[in-house]
Structure 1
Amino acid sequence: MLARAARLRTAEEFRTTMRRGVRCGRPSLVLHMLRTDNPPSRAGFVVSKAVGNAVTRNRVKRQLRHLVAARLAHVPFELDVVVRALPHTGGVAADLDSAWTAATERLASS
C-alpha cells in the first residue's frame, strides 16, 4: 500500500507528470516518469473502463500499486510516476519491469 504522501492526487499532478515526463509504452501499460526535487517519490494510476469491469480494474490497480511501491523505494532520485493500464493487461509485471528500467535510464542520463 502506498502512503498518502506517496500518491499523486490531483488532476494537475497527473497532467504535469504525463506532459513533461518521460514516456515508455508497452503492450499492457504506458509509464510516464518525471524527475522531481520534492521527496517522497509519488505514483498515480489510470485504469479506464476499457480494461474491464470494476472487479478487473481494481485487481489491476492493486497489482500495479504493489509492483510500483516496491520499486519507488529503490530509485536513487525523487520522481513522480503515472502508470496507465491498457486493455491488454497480460504480463503487467514484465512490462512494468521493462518500462521502469527504460524510463529510469533515460531520466538518469538527462
Structure 2
Amino acid sequence: MLERGSRITSGDDYRGVVRRGSRFVGEHTVTYVRMNPKGGQPRFGFIVAKTVGNAVTRNLVRRRLKAICHDSVDSAARGSDVVIRALPSAATAPFAALHDELDRAFAKRGVTPIPTDAR
C-alpha cells in the first residue's frame, strides 16, 4: 500500500496534474505526469469512474494500480506527481498487461528510468 506521503489527496492537486501535466494514453489507462514545483517524494493518484464497473470491480482495479505504483515509488523521480485514470477495459485486463502499460508510461514520461529489459 502506498504511504500517505506518496498519495495525491486534494482535488486541486488532481486538477493541476490532469490539466497541466503531460499525458500518456494506453489501452487500459490514461497517465498524467507533472513535476511538482515543491519537489518532495513522488505522489500518485487514481481515478476509477463508475464506467469501469461496480464498486467491487473499481476497487479491484484501484488496488492493482496502487500495487504497481508501490513497486515504482522507490525508483520514481523526486517531485513527480502522477494521476492514473482507469479506462473501462482495465476491469478485464490482466495484471501483467496493466503493469507493462504503466511501466511504459512511467519510462516515457520520465517518472522512472527506462528498464534494462525493455518490455
- Aligned sequence identity (%): 34
Number of corresponding residues: 105
1:15 corresponding residue in structure 2: 15
Change (3 A) 1:7 1:50: same
What is the root-mean-square deviation in Å for CA atoms of aligned residues? 1.3
1:100 corresponding residue in structure 2: 106
Aligned AA (1:32):
Y
Q: Which runs of 5+ in 2 are unaligned?
A: 112-119
State the distance in 1 between where 2:77 and 2:40 align.
12
What per-residue deviation string (whole Å, max 9, x for no partner) do you get for residues 12-55 of structure 1? 00000111111000010000011124212111000011111111
Does residue 54 (structure 1) correspond to residue 60 (structure 2)? The answer is: no
2:117 corresponding residue in structure 1: none
**Paired residues for 1:1-110 under 5 Å:** 1-36=1-36, 37-89=38-90, 90=93, 91-104=97-110
How far 1:94 sits from its partner (Å)?
Answer: 1.8
Larger RCO, structure (CA 8 Å, separation 6 or more):
1
State the distance in 2 between where 1:75 and 1:93 align.
15
Aligned AA (1:99):
A
2:77 and 2:110 in contact (8 A); partners too: no
State the distance in 1 between where 2:21 and 2:77 align.
17
Aligned AA (1:25):
V
TM-score w.r.t. length of structure 2: 0.82
2:116 corresponding residue in structure 1: none
Structure with bigger helix share is 1
Aligned structure 1 segments of 4 or more residues deviating by more than 4 angstroms: none
State the distance in 2 between where 1:99 and 1:40 align.
19
